[in-house]
Amino acid sequence: MSDNVTLRLAEMRELSETILMDNGFNKDHARSITDIMYACQQDDCHSHGLHRLLMCVESIQSGRIDGTAVPTITDAGPSVVRANANKGMSLLALQAALPQLIEKAKKNGIAALAINNCYHFSALWPEVEKLSEAGLAAIAMVPSHAWVAPAGGTRGTLGTNPLAFSWPRRGKHPFTFDFATSQFARGEVELYRRAGKALPEGVAIDKDGKPTTDAEAAMNGAMLTFGGYKGSALSIMIELLAGPLIDDLTSKESMEFAEGKPEAPYHGEILIAIDPNLLSGGKAVANDERAERLFADILDQGARLPSQRRYVARENNMKRDAIEIPRTLYEELLTLRK
């Protein structure tokens, strides 16, 4: 028997929506959560694909997340939209606020969206990619839980704090990157733990502050930032911009809020959308060509662009109308259906 199970794309969607609704999310939340996992699975981004259904179900079972929360969207200034997720998952709030963010960025050149009071589990690239599909450059940031030690430190203070960026390209998929500011995303460490695989050196320390390659010990100790003090500084910036700046929790505060319950982190998110035409004084077309020359110079050297792997995976998975997930995960997911 194969170690993997193959699912048709529609089957994957149905499995995810059924599990979410069986466990207390309403249809709107189940759809918006599934959209993002579907996108991740389709692009072979496994750490934030169907695997994350486990975290969503654990979160709602802990009894504090509202699976029926209706987000409140506020026009908070010429260039500011605020979305209160009202203790629901972030994704429905994002979906509801996105049209206003796009409109404000196109009108004023730049606009920001603050999402507050949300549980958050997802990859950020689908969010910035959507803004670039609307012709905007975009940045998104979130804290998580205090699993990551600052450079030179010995215990978790920072989150895995992803940073996502996207740039619109005419007639092409956007240029996008999205990565944790820790060496590994927590989801990736979890996949190593589940597979019983050793982590590479330099990813984590154990609870006594000693280097470890044991994924379980890493989860009980602390993860390390990428690029030493540089990743650490970026991570602190994300704590500030997606925390105090928008009146929401830092990763440490989010972890305290969880009181040890196995929930998705609870905090805020910031998205910044920029209109290339207004910012360049109406010269977006000429400047697009310059951006394309930059990409071409990178590709000419045999290097690849971030997001290139994803777009190839997307095309392949869409063509064969199927994705694969580990059999162990599939069997675990089936137990979540009621």
Q: Which helix (H) or strand (E) holds 117?
A: strand 110-119
Q: Which helix (H) or strand (E) holds 97?
A: helix 90-108
Q: How far is the CB of 77 from ligand NDP (least distance, A)?
A: 26
Structure tokens at 154: 């010995």
Give the footprint of ligand PYC on this chain (CB under 6 A): 47, 121, 144, 160, 180, 185-187, 265
Nearer to ligand PYC, 98 or 180 (CB): 180
The answer to the question of residue 175 lying near ligand NDP (CB under 6 A) is no
The answer to the question of residue 165 lying near ligand NDP (CB under 6 A) is no
Contacts of 297 (CB under 8 A, 6+ apart): none
The answer to the question of residue 188 lying near ligand NDP (CB under 6 A) is yes
Beta bridge partners of 269: 115
The answer to the question of residue 120 lying near ligand NDP (CB under 6 A) is yes
Residues 72, 93: Cα–Cα separation, whole Å: 7
Catalytic residues: 47-48, 188
Nearer to ligand NDP, 104 or 123 (CB): 123
| Of 258, 234, 220, the residue nearest 55 (C-alpha) | 258
Which residue's CB comes closest to ligand NDP?
123
Q: What is the DSSP letter of 200?
A: P
Contacts of 38 (CB under 8 A, 6+ apart): 9, 12, 13, 16
Among 142, 223, 246, 255, binds ligand NDP (CB under 6 A): 142
CB 96 within 8 A of CB 102: no
Contact of residue 330 among ligand NDP, ligand PYC, none (CB under 5-8 Å per partner type)? none
Q: How far is the CB of 163 from ligand NDP (least distance, A)?
A: 8
What is the rounded end-to-end Cα distance, in angstroms, of the chain? 26
Binding piece for ligand NDP, criterion CB under 6 A, among 24-32, 122-130, 286-294, 315-323: 122-130
Residues that bind ligand NDP (CB under 6 A): 45, 47-48, 120-125, 142, 144, 160, 162, 164, 177-180, 184-185, 187-188, 304, 306-310
